[in-house]
Every structure is written in C-alpha cells, then in structure tokens.
Amino acid sequence: MNIATKLNIDEIKTKFIGLNSLVRNKPLVYLDSGATTLKLKSVVDEVVNYYSASANIHRGTHFLAIKATEEFEATRDLVKTFVGARKKEEIIFTKGTTEAINLVATILRGEIKKGDEIIISALEHHSNMVPWQMLAKEKEATIKIAPINPDGEIIIEDFSKLLNEKTKIVAINHISNSIGTVNDIARIVALAKKVGALTLIDGAQAIAHKKVNVLDLGCDFYCFSGHKMFGPTGVGVLYGKEELLERLPPYQGGGEMIKDVTYQGSTYNDLPYKFEAGTPNIAGVIGLKKSIEFINDTGLTQIANYESMLLKEATSRLKKIPNLTIIGNAKDKGPILSFNIKGLHHDDIGTLLDQQGIAVRTGHHCCSPLMNLYKIPGTIRATFSIYNTLDDIEKLSQGIVKAVELL
C-alpha cells in the first residue's frame, strides 16, 4: 500500500475549499502553499459560526462572551500541546510570524547594548532580518550572517566561529521559505546556549510539515502563522519560555494586558495576556483550532512522508527538463522546489504557467539578500502540500515545457 492510499488523498481533498476551482478555464493546480495554504472547510465554517453570534472574549458574564472565551482559550490549550510547550501561558497569539518576530525584537531592546551581536542566517526571510536590523541600528549592535554552502545549507562550523560572549540573539528559520532547506535547529540552539545567547526560530514553513517540539529544540522563542497551516490569515503564535516572558516588558499597551490602571500608572496582567493588548483576531484563533485538529488527525509523520515523496518526484521530473536549474539542493528539504530556466525570466514562466491554471510563486520570495548571493533576481517556486498529487507534478512538468516552447 503506498503513502497516498494510506492517507486517502481523495478524501482529504474534499475537506478543502478551492481545489475544484477553474483558473482561466483550466482546472486549478495549486502549488503555492508556501505563500499560503488552501483553507479547510471546517476552518471556514468555524469562523462563520463565530461571526454569526459573536462576542468579545474575557471578562464578559453573558453566554456569548463566555462561549467565545472558552473556544478561544481551548485553542491556546491545543497549541500548547501541539508544539510541546510546558504551559499554556507560554502561548501568545499574534497577527502572524512577522508580528511575533517584531514583538520579540521590541521586548528585547533592554537586553541589547552597544557592541552586542545578533546572528541570523543567509537564508532568512525579510521578516527575520529587518526587525533585527532595526534593533541593531537603535542599539549600535552588529548583525552577523551565518553563511551557507552552495547547496543552501548553513555551514555549522562557520556559524560556531561567529558565536562569542557578545552574541545576544540568534534568529534562524526552521525551514527556508525560498529554497526549502531544513536547518538543524536543535544543534544551532545548543551551540548558541553555550555563549548564553537567546534563540528565536521562525517556524512559518515548518509548522505544517514536520513535528515541532519546542522543548526538544531548546529554543527560547518559536513562532508561526495560521495561514501556512490551512488556517485563517491574520493569526499567528509566539511560544516563549515562561521565565523570559515574565521578565520582559509588554509589547503594546491597552486593554487586556493590564490588571489595574490609575492616572498615575498601571499594573500589567499575568501571562499570556500581558502580551495580548486589545481585541484579538478571535475568529481567526477559534478557526486555527480546526486546522490543528486536522493536522493531528491526519498525522504529521504521514503528511511529511507524503510531501517528501511529492518533492522527490517533482525534483526528479524537473531535472530532466533542459536548461532547468534547481536552486537549493540541501540534503534535508521541506516541500519547496525553487528553479530557473536558463535565459528566461522567472516571471515570464510564472505567467505562462498561470495561463495553464498552474499557480506557482515567482520573485525573490522576500529573500533578496539570498537571491543576490546566488547572483539571480529570483526563482520560480513550487510548494507542495497534503492536497497535491502526482498528477499535479505531471501538469507542472508539462506546463514548464510548454512555457519554454512558447518563449
């Protein structure tokens, strides 16, 4: 019995909205899950249910407020278990990965002084670069870049040499959004700990594709977005170690994050509410619970094995296309395949694939420095998920050949 049969992909596909869409009168082949996944029907239904009889959460004594609060906090409990955190107080809801990273960069301002160093890798998304650059500029600290080899893997020996007593923060992605490299996070965190550095992991591309246990990884902070895991946009999660979140100052001021307010000053709320000022994306958080339940029911190991099979097959087929070069050949990769065609612009290929109903992403993928490192303006990126099939890969391969012929 093959992996697809074990998972019953046909049944899984019925759980998603949009798979049967027509794009330019062609059946949709959706290969852009790295940007955002298609949404589960159960997620959409949950969001609609909330808005059909909605109320604000916490403090309310009426039925709708109590119900919304219970559902909201049930998601927090589920996220805690999903990422292996010790306590639900360590789970902070945000707008997404980008806000989570900005939150951490902001609350760590007091931990950084002139001459300190922050390490990121050459693989980072702009959202895990710019907040640290802003912090470094304000505090007159230095950003150091962990280099990669030609295959797109962090050179651990060179990363180790960057670490010293001045290193205060190490911020690395779990899986590269642009070329798919899976980084050895547990090893990177262990090395960072030796010099007392704090560690933040951008898990946006990992959370729906591999099992994450923050205690096993040993990181101080881990963040991800709901829309990368079949859930709503505008909602994300920051995990932070309780002792750090207790010690660090709030991110924003306002309602919910306070215990008591007078004209003279305020007392901050307990965790996790200390970092959740204002009315949150209640519907998004409640909807996120359904996406996590789907992943748990399907099984992350099963999902990972199936997506690995798709990646392997896609890589094999695309390598046979003349003048096609795959960008990023790490030994361990997520379901992300970036490539270029010699002499042709990535946007032109993407446009012609779109004419055939095939959705891919083109450009620098918010990784301009990485593209510059490879001396290319961008790539064509196909990303795979649980609802993709070998037939999608065949259509992609044929679509590329047709696009090349037209150009």
Question: Cβ(300)–Cβ(83) under 8 Å?
Answer: no
CA–CA separation, 109 vs 249, rounded Å? 10
Asked if the model's pLDDT at residue 3 lies above 80, the reply is no
pLDDT, tens only, 121-160: 999 999 999 999 999 999 999 999 999 999 999 999 999 9
Torsion of Cα atoms, 35 then 40 then 41 then 47, to 10°: -80
Give me the pLDDT at residue 2, please: 57
For the chain, state the CA radius of gyration.
22
**The CA-based dihedral angle spanning residues 246, 251, 253, 259, taken in that order and rounded to the nearest 10 degrees:** -10
pLDDT digits (tens, 9 = 90+) for 222-270: 999 999 999 999 999 999 999 999 999 999 999 888 888 889 999 999 9
In degrees and rounded to multiples of 5, residue 29 shows phi and psi of: -115, 100
The arithmetic mean of pLDDT across residues 269-277, rounded, is 94
Q: Is there a catalytic annotation at residue 366?
A: yes
Say what the pLDDT of residue 358 is.
Answer: 97
Is 9 exposed, middle or buried, given 0-12, 13-18 or 19+ CB atoms closer than 10 A? middle
Question: What was the pLDDT predicted at 394?
Answer: 97
CATH architecture of the domain with residue range 44-297 = 3-Layer(aba) Sandwich (3.40)
Q: 75: buried, middle or exposed (CB in 10 Å: 19+, 13-18, 0-12)?
A: buried
| Residue among 70, 190, 86, 179 at smallest CA distance from 125 | 179
Residue 13, SS3 per DSSP: helix
The pLDDT score that the predictor gives to residue 255 is 87
Residue range 3-40+299-406 forms a domain whose CATH class is alpha beta
Binning pLDDT at 50, 70 and 90, where does residue 1 land? very low
Tokens of 337: 């395949």
* Percent above pLDDT 90 for the chain: 94
Domain parsing of the chain, residue ranges: 3-40+299-406, 44-297
Q: What is the mean pLDDT of the chain?
A: 96
**Three-state secondary structure call for residue 238:** strand
Burial of 342 (0-12, 13-18, 19+ CB in 10 A): exposed
Encoded tokens for 350: 């993407």
pLDDT of 61-117, one tens digit each? 899 999 999 999 999 999 999 999 999 999 999 999 999 999 999 999 999 999 999
pLDDT in tens, 350-399: 999 999 999 999 999 999 999 999 999 999 999 999 999 999 999 999 99
